[in-house]
């Protein structure tokens, strides 16, 4: 029972995101289903050029303020990094985090990769990451408290039905948390509490944190407020409450950019003051300024930086005189996988929401027979493809090769459908562009899917037959719903004009099909060989002396390379790089990560060599240089990496304090 609860808790963020997205789709479908794309286009055209320019300046100021998060973070970590480098890291990290959901994860991967090349140790980078994550939250709490005291009724969802004293109490609690943080920074910095040293910034820096974050959130809200037309009763403070609540809901959804959830909350909060097309017009421009343009700029800058580092590596020139993570080879950075996953998720959401905006296609320019087929399909088929793309995005985040190929095929198929239905040209253009951008990165997806990882057994044949049966059933259902003006599968499920039996059947079949697709695309559940005589013999047969003690060996996809590991607290510690066939070593690393996840542990590797540091970085692990004795090098010039023989790779911000005390014991037990 306890293990089942742990698994459920691990999936809770994803479940919350799906629930919030589903609720957003339902609200838009029921409350704003008469939206027309022509009305939104007119609202966009009505925004004056001067207003667009002012909003863009607010946007520049917002990203400029964010660079000082990292600037303060490096001071807190005890390292001086030039402002140019800090600004570059901040821009890349926040552009990725804003678009791809859970900011603490997606932004951390970029910071680890960049700051490591600039000489920061893993512990210092962990401090920067934690400092930046905390800073944003402080600003939201300060402004949230102000709104809850002075404009509590402006908060969507809660302002209308929660008593005033409850709103004031919540606002007071938010302020108390901020005040408590500053007080702790003043009184308890450097002291030990419950066996842990409180490594807090000084109280002056804590106050600066709060002021900086408060200004940042206020400036970002001003981008949208500037784009909205003047409305009676809508002052800046009231709008701030709507914005903070909407942005928080988008973050809680843990989906790329909070897409759908943020827009819905803004619609609900602002509808008493403005027309929906005006709201969506402002939000579209905000998305363009704050999300899309920075993502493409940051992606290009980050890719260029990686190419430069690759060239230095190939020439055997160290990337920096104080770099702690030199690499012997280069692979597609984790940024690529994260960006691709986000792009596919956005395309899936776009296809799911085609029916939200009213549009009557004109098929006069298409062959009559094909036009009839396209007209009958309506949004039913594209919405099914949208759901499948959501599943593929999850599989691509696990670097599954088959998911890469299936995604490109689905994007092109969806583009063909939208062209045939005379949807606005930008929709198929976005789908085709996403496919073109994904295609060159085949090397970033090197894991076998469950469908292709073994013989056609029941665990594979069952989902495959289920998926085929569901597709046939959905094809049969389509004949009964084609008469609906908006017949996306989720609109069919919600429509009161359709018999309940048909609604339930469509919902059940779609969910079953998506589950079957996921079971076919996901990597197989990882098993391991427990440590014993057989494990010792198999490990020794690979030409490497077996470790003195281990809990087991996890093997690669082809069962030709393996890593011995030990469980230590909440860490699954690999004992060295994988050994065995070169072609199977990378998959062994990923399978160690998957096994750790299955058991609710964090992966780590002790005495990792330089050859696979790029792969470990893709897993979000930071590298701490070790000497020949397996112990950490100091923080002085010896940390340049030139004397580092091996590394400890781990989630430094979580596990370094657990692993460091164990290294002497491991070193004594290892020949």
User: Domain boundary residue among 487, 521, 555?
Assistant: 521
User: Domain boundary residue among 489, 521, 553?
Assistant: 521
Note if the pTM is more than 0.85: no
The total number of structural domains in the chain stands at 3
Q: 188 vs 349, which has greater pLDDT?
A: 349
Q: Do residue 303 and residue 156 come from a single domain? A: yes
For residues 608 and 626, the answer to whether their CB atoms sit within 8 Å is no
Average pLDDT over residues 640-656: 70
For residues 570 and 655, the answer to whether their CB atoms sit within 8 Å is yes
Residue 159 domain-assigned (yes or no)? yes
Residue 329 domain-assigned (yes or no)? no
Average pLDDT over residues 420-438: 81
Average pLDDT over residues 640-669: 73
* Residues 326-385 pLDDT 10s: 333 333 445 667 677 777 877 887 888 775 554 544 545 555 555 555 556 667 788 889
Crossing angle (nearest 10°) for helices 334-352 and 293-314:
150
Q: What is the pLDDT of residue 498?
A: 77
Residue 319 domain-assigned (yes or no)? no
Residue 321 domain-assigned (yes or no)? no
For residues 399 and 444, the answer to whether their CB atoms sit within 8 Å is yes
Q: CA-to-CA distance for 575 and 564, rounded, in angstroms?
A: 6
* Residues 168-187 pLDDT 10s: 888 888 889 888 888 888 77
Q: Do residue 653 and residue 508 come from a single domain? A: no
Q: Do residue 277 and residue 411 come from a single domain? A: no
Q: Do residue 571 and residue 434 come from a single domain? A: no
Q: CA-to-CA distance for 481 and 551, rounded, in angstroms?
A: 56
Residue 409 has pLDDT above 90, yes or no: yes
Residue 516 domain-assigned (yes or no)? yes
Residue 302 has pLDDT above 80, yes or no: no
Q: Do residue 652 and residue 507 come from a single domain? A: no
Q: Which of 86-100, 484-498, 545-559 holds the top average pLDDT?
A: 545-559
Q: 412 vs 263, which has greater pLDDT?
A: 412
Q: Do residue 497 and residue 606 come from a single domain? A: no
Residue 32 has pLDDT above 60, yes or no: no
Average pLDDT of the chain, as a whole number: 76
Q: What is the pLDDT of residue 553?
A: 93
* Residues 526-537 pLDDT 10s: 888 999 888 888
Residue 322 domain-assigned (yes or no)? no
Residue 576 has pLDDT above 60, yes or no: yes
Q: Do residue 508 and residue 614 come from a single domain? A: no
CA 381, 386, 390 angle in degrees (round to 5)?
150
Q: Do residue 285 and residue 382 come from a single domain? A: no
Residue 151 domain-assigned (yes or no)? yes
Residue 279 has pLDDT above 90, yes or no: no
Least confident span in 5-9, 170-174, 358-362, 517-521: 358-362
CA 277, 56, 145 angle in degrees (round to 5)?
75
User: Domain boundary residue among 488, 503, 521?
Assistant: 521
Q: Which domain holds residue 259?
A: 2-314
Residue 320 domain-assigned (yes or no)? no
Q: CA-to-CA distance for 216 and 142, rounded, in angstroms?
A: 12
Q: Do residue 310 and residue 384 come from a single domain? A: no
Q: What is the pLDDT of residue 244?
A: 85
Crossing angle (nearest 10°) for helices 334-352 and 380-397:
160
Q: Do residue 220 and residue 354 come from a single domain? A: no
Residue 514 has pLDDT above 90, yes or no: no
Q: Do residue 275 and residue 371 come from a single domain? A: no
Percentage of the chain exceeding pLDDT 70: 73
Q: What is the pLDDT of residue 193?
A: 42
Q: What is residue 315's three-state secondary structure?
A: coil
Q: What is the pLDDT of residue 3?
A: 52
CATH number assigned to the domain comprising residue 606? 3.40.630
* Residues 47-72 pLDDT 10s: 888 999 999 999 999 999 999 988 88
Confidence tier at 117 by pLDDT (50, 70, 90): confident
The full length of the chain comes to 671
Q: Do residue 361 and residue 214 come from a single domain? A: no
């Amino acid at each position: 029972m306890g293990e089942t609860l742990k698994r459920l808790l691990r999936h809770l963020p994803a479940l919350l995101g799906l629930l919030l997205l589903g609720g957003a789709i339902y609200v838009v479908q029921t409350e704003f289903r008469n939206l027309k794309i022509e009305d939104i286009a007119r609202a966009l055209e009505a925004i004056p050029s001067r207003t667009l320019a002012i909003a863009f300046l607010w946007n520049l100021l917002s990203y400029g303020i964010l660079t000082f998060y990292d600037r303060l973070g490096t001071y807190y970590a005890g390292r001086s990094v030039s402002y140019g480098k800090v600004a570059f890291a901040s821009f890349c990290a926040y552009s990725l985090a804003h678009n791809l959901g859970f900011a603490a994860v997606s932004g951390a991967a970029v910071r680890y990769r960049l700051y490591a090349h600039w000489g920061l140790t893993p512990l210092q980078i962990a401090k920067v990451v934690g400092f930046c994550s905390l800073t944003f939250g402080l600003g939201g709490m300060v402004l949230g408290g102000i709104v809850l005291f002075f404009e509590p009724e402006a908060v969507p969802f809660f302002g209308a039905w929660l008593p005033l004293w409850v709103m004031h109490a919540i606002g007071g609690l938010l302020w108390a948390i901020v005040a408590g943080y500053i007080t702790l920074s003043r009184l308890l910095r450097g002291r030990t509490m419950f066996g842990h040293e409180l490594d807090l910034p000084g109280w002056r820096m804590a106050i600066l944190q709060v002021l900086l974050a408060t200004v940042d959130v206020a400036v970002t809200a001003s981008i949208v407020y500037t784009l909205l037309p003047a409305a009676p009763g809508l002052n800046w403070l009231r709008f701030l409450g709507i914005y903070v609540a909407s942005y928080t809901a988008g973050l809680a959804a843990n989906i790329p950019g909070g897409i759908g959830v943020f827009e819905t909350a803004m619609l609900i909060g602002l509808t008493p003051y403005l027309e929906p097309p005006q709201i969506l017009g402002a939000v579209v421009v905000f998305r363009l300024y704050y999300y899309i343009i920075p993502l493409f700029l940051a992606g290009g800058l980050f890719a260029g930086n990686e190419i430069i580092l690759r060239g230095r590596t190939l020439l055997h020139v160290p990337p920096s005189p104080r770099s702690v993570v030199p690499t012997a080879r280069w692979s597609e950075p984790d940024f690529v996988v994260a960006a691709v996953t986000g792009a596919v998720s956005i395309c899936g959401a776009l296809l799911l929401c085609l029916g939200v905006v009213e549009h009557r296609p004109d098929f006069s320019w298409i062959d009559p027979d094909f036009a009839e087929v396209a007209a009958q399909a309506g949004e039913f088929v594209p919405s099914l493809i949208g759901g499948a793309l959501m599943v593929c995005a999850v599989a691509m985040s696990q670097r599954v090769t088959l998911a890469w190929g299936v995604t490109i095929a689905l994007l092109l198929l969806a583009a063909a459908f939208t062209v045939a239905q005379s949807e606005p040209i930008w929709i198929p253009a976005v789908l085709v562009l996403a496919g073109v951008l994904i295609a060159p990165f085949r090397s970033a997806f090197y894991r076998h899917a469950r469908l292709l990882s073994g013989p056609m057994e029941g665990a594979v044949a069952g989902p495959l037959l289920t998926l085929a049966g569901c597709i046939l059933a959905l094809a049969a259902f389509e004949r009964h719903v084609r008469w609906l003006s908006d017949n996306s599968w989720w609109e069919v499920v919600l429509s009161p004009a359709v018999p309940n039996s048909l609604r339930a059947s469509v919902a059940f079949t779609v969910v079953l099909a998506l589950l079957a697709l996921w079971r076919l695309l996901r990597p197989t559940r990882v098993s391991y060989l427990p440590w014993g005589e057989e494990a010792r013999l198999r490990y020794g047969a690979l030409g490497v002396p077996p470790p003195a003690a281990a809990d087991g060996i996890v093997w690669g996809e082809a069962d030709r390379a393996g890593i011995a590991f030990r469980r230590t607290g909440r860490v699954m510690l690999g004992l060295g790089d994988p050994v065995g066939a070169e072609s199977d070593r990378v998959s062994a690393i990923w399978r160690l990560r998957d096994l750790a996840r299955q058991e609710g542990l964090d992966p780590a590797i002790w005495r990792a060599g330089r050859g696979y540091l790029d792969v470990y970085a893709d897993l979000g692990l930071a590298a701490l240089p070790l000497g020949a004795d397996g112990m950490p090098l100091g923080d002085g010039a010896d940390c340049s990496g030139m004397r580092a023989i091996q590394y400890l790779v781990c989630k430094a911000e979580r596990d370094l304090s657990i692993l460091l005390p164990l290294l002497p014991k491991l070193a004594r037990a290892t020949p």
